């Protein structure tokens, strides 16, 4: 169980893992990484066309996945650059 305190507020979390070796902070880092990966796939499905492939060829499917994730990453990069330009103004 993990306890955190911010001012007068106390937060608690119960962490579950089948691996009993890692310490609490390692498990938290794993959870954060896992959810970041899930967000990438969710957003790639919504904005990058990840689910739009109709091919049956293994190579074509791999190419489509690569193209979709690349398009999504370029979209994120363009968004970050646009935000940076707005901050500079």
Q: 44-74, pLDDT tens digit by residue? A: 888 888 888 899 999 999 999 999 999 888 9
Instruction: Provide the pLDDT for residue 59.
Output: 95
* Confidence band for 23, pLDDT divided at 50, 70 and 90: confident
Q: Is 27:17 a contact under the CB 8 Å cutoff?
A: yes
Q: How many domains does the chain have?
A: 1
Instruction: Provide the pLDDT for residue 58.
Output: 94
Other C-beta atoms lying within 10 Å of the C-beta of residue 48: 22
pTM of the model: 0.62
* Confidence band for 81, pLDDT divided at 50, 70 and 90: very high
Range of the domain at 33: 2-88
């Amino acid at each position: 169980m993990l306890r955190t305190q911010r001012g007068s507020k106390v937060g608690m979390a119960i962490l579950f893992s089948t691996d009993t070796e890692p310490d609490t902070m390692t498990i938290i880092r794993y959870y954060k990484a896992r959810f970041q990966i899930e967000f990438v796939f969710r957003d790639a499905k919504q904005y990058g066309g990840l689910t739009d492939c109709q091919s049956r060829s293994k190579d074509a499917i791999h190419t489509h996945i690569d193209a979709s994730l690349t398009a999504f990453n370029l979209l994120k990069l363009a968004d970050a650059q646009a935000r940076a330009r707005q901050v500079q103004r």
